[in-house]
Amino acid sequence: MMTKNAKAYIALIFICIVWGTTYLAIRVGVESYPAAFLFAGVRQTIAGLILMAIALIVSKQKDVSAKNIVHQMMVGFLMLTVGNGGVTWGEKYIPSGIAALLCSMMPLFAVLFNLIGSKKEKFNSLIGVGMVLGVCGVGLIFRHNLADMTKPENLGGICAILLATSSWALGSIINKKKAATVNPFFNSGMQLLFGGVFMLALSPAIDDYTGMQIWNTNGLLAMGYLVVFGSVLAYASYMYALSALPVGIATIYAYINPLIAVLAGWMFLHEELNIYTGLAFATIVVSVYLVNMGYRKQHKQAAISAALNTAEAFPENSSSN
């Protein structure tokens, strides 16, 4: 019988692969449909309805209390309206490679927010070194794009994606700390739905509908891929991984996604692979290993501390007969 942790790691691997390809799909989508919030809002609304329907077919249980609905609305707004909407809008102005580079900072935001908001989480050197290595590894992949980040015309897109990345990290932490246990996939569908509806509501104030072509083949294909794989399957997988793994581990996909994007470009678009790609791969693998070891060390120390506190509280149980 496969354990929950094993299933969570399989879900994480799936996320790493699928979300690594979505930067390209989003770029294709916003080139076809420049109204970025409308495009992302339609995507997430459709995906939310599909996921909620599937979740109800599998399990009739659902939590529709006001408290749970407000929680899912908040998470949906942070992770999808601001998070996904910001990335989609930002990719109108910057290349998908730079977007992936900026989004790789998400685990740093997640750990920072977690350390600020939780007394249980303790930072250690292994986690710190691992995260710095992860960013460096992504930087090696997109070293040619780093100069583009200083161009004034890219500033708006960069700021939008940094805001989106921090908002996604905050939403992930809030969702993990107060996750509802009743039909979590239905809850994930609600998050997608609410996030999408909020984007549709904001679209008239943010988007420019000039030159919109509804029946654009490339745009529709991108939309279909993003709905089915990027949202329904990958988002549900992320929520499952987040429920079983520490935030710092569940979010390491952000380091791996850019590497997947580069490999996909090599496989399907015959883009160049070189020594820097290999170095980046090695660096990212080491970073993931160090973060994982850091969390194991953290949990081991927490277990030892708990045992010592128990022994101090009940000294008669630890004395010899």
DSSP letters spanning 41-68: HHHHHHHHHHHHHHHHHH-------HHH
Region of 205 (left: φ > 0; alpha: ψ -120 to 50; beta: rest) is alpha
DSSP 121: -
Its pTM stands at 0.81
Is 2 a domain residue? no
Residue 84 is predicted with a pLDDT of 95
Cα–Cα distance, 56 to 73 (Å, whole number): 19
Is 121 a domain residue? yes
Cα–Cα distance, 146 to 233 (Å, whole number): 32
CA 58 to chain centre: 25
Is 263 a domain residue? yes
Q: What's the mean per-residue pLDDT of the chain?
A: 84
- Does 35 score more than 60 pLDDT? yes
Q: How far lies 136's CA from each of 24, 101, 247, in Å?
A: 22, 10, 20
- Mean pLDDT across 294-318: 64
Residue 220 is predicted with a pLDDT of 93
141 touches 280 (CB < 8 A): yes
- Mean pLDDT across 100-119: 78
Region of 83 (left: φ > 0; alpha: ψ -120 to 50; beta: rest) is alpha
User: CA neighbours within 13 Å on the CB side: how many for 180?
Assistant: 23
In this structure, of 64-68, 98-102, 120-124, 236-240, the range with the lowest mean pLDDT score is: 120-124
Structure tokens at 84: 């996904």
Residue 321 is predicted with a pLDDT of 47
Q: Give the number of domains in the chain.
A: 1
Is 321 a domain residue? no
Is 3 a domain residue? no
- Mean pLDDT across 52-62: 90
- Looking up tokens 């920072």, which residue turns up? 112
Structure tokens at 217: 């083949």
| Residues 154-198 pLDDT 10s | 788 889 998 999 999 999 989 888 766 778 899 999 999 999 999
- Mean pLDDT across 199-226: 90
Residue 305 is predicted with a pLDDT of 66
Bigger pLDDT: 172 or 270?
Answer: 172
Is 319 a domain residue? no
SS3 103: helix
The residue range of the domain holding 220 is: 9-314
CA 289 to chain centre: 19
Is 252 a domain residue? yes
- Looking up tokens 């791969």, which residue turns up? 281
The amino acid at 26? I
Residue 85 is predicted with a pLDDT of 96
